[in-house]
Amino acid sequence: MILKHIKLSFRQIIRQKFSFAIAILGLALGLAAAGHLISYTLYYLDYDQNVENQGEWYRLRFSDLHPEFGELATASFFIPPAAMLLDDIPEVLEHIVYWPSVVALNLRCDDKPFQMPALTYVSEIFPKHYQMEIKYGNPDSLLSDRSGILISESFAQSFFGNINPVGKQIYVGDIPKYHISGVFADLRDNLHLKHDHYILWPEDTEAAPTSEEDWYITGHVRVRIAHPEETKAVERRLNEVLEQYRNLIGQSGTIQVHLDPIRQIHFMPNLKDDAPTMPILNIVSILVLAGLLIISAMVNFLIIIGLSWKKRSDEFYFRRAVGAGRAEIFGQLICEYGIYIGLALLIGIILYSATMGIFEDLVKVDVSRYSMVDLPYSVYSALIFLVLALVSGILMSWRHSRIKLDQNTWQGVHRNRGITVLLFVQMTISFALIAVAVSMYLHYSFVRGLDWGWDHQNTVQYKFISIMDEGRSGYSDARVIRQRIRELPGVLKESVSNFNLISESLDNQNGFHEVPIYLQDAEGNTPIRSYLSSCTPDFFETRGIKLVSGQIPDTATDTQVVVNQSFADKYLVNPVGSRLREGDDLDESNWYEVVAVAEDCWWFPPYQEMIPLITILKPYVIKYHQITWREGMKQEVLSGLEHIFAETASSGVFGYSSQEVELSQAGFYEQDLIYKNISMFMAIFVVLIAVMGVYAVSAQSIHAQMKDISIRKICGAEMSDLQKLYFRSYLYLYIASALPGLYLASNLIRLYIDKLALDNSASMMGYPAAILIMIPIVFVPLSLNIFMAYKADPTRYLQAD
């Protein structure tokens, strides 16, 4: 009997190829796409999970709670005193420090530049903590002394080729300072502290941190605590210790230590001095979207299968008439349903595997490790899906097997209600996803099209430490470098600054120093908090930054500053000529004079509010050079610059690195691009499903009413009369699904848009756009069916049966 059912199932597929192709392929595609989305979320949910004894590790960080400034939340802790402080706490079993140096060095190996970003210092047990697979080197002495550098396999391959590089000497200038101590297999991407190289942070567990300098360096510190309930005791103990050193630490508010479980740190955004993070709600929303996708595909599947069974009610009637019981009909239907679901699952798995590479390109994340097939989550996901599918199948089979020999039309009408509910669900999801997709598209266009307030086209930025001076050992003269750059053929303009013009986060590493500032004209003696940095006087004109008021002298003194408009609007009534100072020292030399107010510029993504910024016009140290090339001269300028910086670096101790500005800016919005692409892809998929759903359901309901339509036609009804008749019911459905759909969309959109500090009302256009886009989706297929019904020969339906 089962074989007969299976044969009949395939015969049905062959008889209704188009409908079944839509149902089965639609579900398969939905499953594959949802699988990819779940893999993508797992990639992030698994961030930093691959550490030894992962559940026992916590990140140590502090926040400074100030009555005036609020909470200054950082992701860091005090690096030099960490060892001494933590060794005194018995609950802390182990600890790790991590400090990425700000300064790149001029390193050479095998007589060629050994170009790598600033050194990353870690504790000796770090390779064990990240469970590194060591390719070369002695695992017991990888980071045993200050001169050993541990490098990644791909980094070693690119520099040394296929040889074992362990023992190779690395020179700083002409002095042999480091050696390669080991090579580790490339780390997975979803690690918070991932780098291509590590060097030992020498810890001093004996000496007490007795000077301010000991507390100056902050970085990532992790501690291992066996029992979660002990974390509070550790926090309390550290708070007490820090209170003892309050005067040295230099924080003006109340310092509070926090222990963050490692599994959570990637989802704690907006902390200073942190690696890139993301809100957990983004992950939740992607999971919601994946769920909606499956529901939509499943609803489409159920509609088409339901309609096909409805078409076959005569067959079921005849089967009953010749002796089949309800159980037999039910068995046949559930068997057919199982075959269809099984086919969809099989094709879905094939599609999922085949499109893994395409999806990775789309999201720019290596999700291959998070293949649904390999993960424990896949069991839950498959179970949820199978339960959903099974319940739906049983319900549908049960209802369709209920056909009675004295069946009347009312049962048919009643059954349509189920399909209408499914169509309602599908349209609701369509409304939601279209609104989300359009909003994400507009949001992305908004952030990418934002006026940054400064000229950044065709520009490259070099990071290289030099000074506005000559004759200091190890340092280059910035003025000489600038002159050489300006003389380079193809250079349109060049500027220098002490702050990074493409900063992902506003911190000391990027040259943005948040400091207390005292205003001369202010009442009382309460400082304000502002960012402070420096650049040369010509910076503003070169970068096309408009002045709101005041003038910038050609040659400035080290007490003249420019403030941005945000600073002026917030703190100064008459900005030009007003005076301000940094810190408590009232000495006259510490006072700055505001000479001009410049328009606000985005040196950072607009996920942070515009900052108040003071720029000193006479920098001593120069960290960043920005060079703009003439159109068509990019290659010439870039190779000339490379030559200048390589040559300059070779005679000093500092290394250099470069970034193309527009390319780096685009990196700020990679996540937004991914969300945009995902939501657009899903919206297109759901729209196609919705069109097919509306078409199939309206075709079925109109077909079932062809006799009524024919009667109306012979009574004189025209096309418009029929349209009015059917449009009305679909209009109700349209309105009923629009309301929950747009409500759902508003919640999803808010998860993404809320992180933007600027008012972006353009994203709200997603709602009216969804309302407009859904009109043709609902009414075009319906019109097509009405048109076909109107054109059909009415005599077929009016003659005696």
Partner 1 sequence: MIKLTNLSKIYRTDTVETTALNDLNLTIEKGSFIAIKGPSGCGKTTLLNILGLMDRASRGEYSFTGKNASTMSENERNRLRRKTIGFLFQKFNLISSLTVFENVELPLLYQKVNTSSRKERVMSILGQLGVEARKDHFPHQLSGGQQQRVSLARCVINNPELILADEPTGNLDSRNGEEVMRLLKDLHTSGRTIVMVTHDDHYATFADQIIHLNDGMIV
- The residues that touch partner 1, with contacts defined as CB under 8 A, are 409, 707-708, 710-718, 721, 791, 793-795, 798-801
d(CA 490, CA 483): 14
Q: Closest separation between CB of residue 345 and partner 1, Å?
A: 39
192 and 260 Cβ atoms separated by less than 8 Å: no
d(CA 125, CA 95): 9
d(CA 49, CA 38): 17
129 and 51 Cβ atoms separated by less than 8 Å: yes
- Tally the residues of the chain: 801
702 and 709 Cβ atoms separated by less than 8 Å: yes
Nearer to partner 1 by Cβ, of 466 and 698: the residue is 698
d(CA 86, CA 404): 78
Sign of CA dihedral 295, 296, 299, 304: negative
d(CA 99, CA 273): 10
d(CA 223, CA 97): 9
d(CA 756, CA 173): 45
Nearer to partner 1 by Cβ, of 36 and 713: the residue is 713
Q: Closest separation between CB of residue 800 and partner 1, Å?
A: 5
How many Cβ atoms from other residues are within 10 Å of residue 538's Cβ?
Answer: 17
Nearer to partner 1 by Cβ, of 152 and 700: the residue is 700
Q: Closest separation between CB of residue 309 and partner 1, Å?
A: 23
Q: Closest separation between CB of residue 792 and partner 1, Å?
A: 11
612 and 479 Cβ atoms separated by less than 8 Å: no
DSSP 103: P
DSSP 82: H
57 and 390 Cβ atoms separated by less than 8 Å: no
DSSP 764: G
Helices (H), 100-230: 126-129, 153-160
Closest by Cα among 323, 303, 220 to 697: 303
Q: Closest separation between CB of residue 790 and partner 1, Å?
A: 8
Q: Closest separation between CB of residue 706 and partner 1, Å?
A: 12
Nearer to partner 1 by Cβ, of 263 and 712: the residue is 712
Q: Token match 């400034």: residue?
A: 69
Q: Closest separation between CB of residue 776 and partner 1, Å?
A: 25
Nearer to partner 1 by Cβ, of 472 and 796: the residue is 796
Closest by Cα among 344, 324, 332, 347 to 396: 332
Q: How many angstroms from the chain centroid is the CA of residue 683?
A: 19
3-state secondary structure 235-278: HHHHHHHHHHCHHHHCCCCEEEEEEEEHHHHHHCCCCECCCCCC
- Phi and psi angles of residue 137, each rounded to the nearest 5 degrees, phi first: 105, 165
Could you tell me which residues are beta bridge partners of residue 183? 136, 151
Q: Token match 């001093």: residue?
A: 204
DSSP 610: P
Sign of CA dihedral 585, 589, 595, 598: negative
Nearer to partner 1 by Cβ, of 277 and 710: the residue is 710
Nearer to partner 1 by Cβ, of 180 and 786: the residue is 786
Nearer to partner 1 by Cβ, of 451 and 801: the residue is 801
Nearer to partner 1 by Cβ, of 322 and 715: the residue is 715
d(CA 277, CA 266): 5
Q: Closest separation between CB of residue 409 and partner 1, Å?
A: 7
Q: Closest separation between CB of residue 796 and partner 1, Å?
A: 10
d(CA 231, CA 224): 10
686 and 437 Cβ atoms separated by less than 8 Å: no
Q: Closest separation between CB of residue 737 and partner 1, Å?
A: 24
Nearer to partner 1 by Cβ, of 473 and 799: the residue is 799
- Residue 623: both structure tokens together: 């960290």
- Helix H or strand E segment including 728: helix 719-753
Could you tell me which residues are beta bridge partners of residue 261? 58
**Distances, alpha carbon 480 to alpha carbons 469, 561, 617, 648, in Å:** 10, 24, 19, 10
Nearer to partner 1 by Cβ, of 112 and 791: the residue is 791
582 and 590 Cβ atoms separated by less than 8 Å: yes
State whether residue 750 is helix, strand or coil.
Answer: helix
Q: Closest separation between CB of residue 403 and partner 1, Å?
A: 19
DSSP 349-413: HHHHHHTHHHHHHHHTS--GGG-GGGSHHHHHHHHHHHHHHHHHHHHHHHHHTT--TT--HHHHH
| 574 exposure class (CB count in 10 Å sphere: 0-12, 13-18, 19+) | exposed
Q: Closest separation between CB of residue 25 and partner 1, Å?
A: 30
Nearer to partner 1 by Cβ, of 243 and 721: the residue is 721
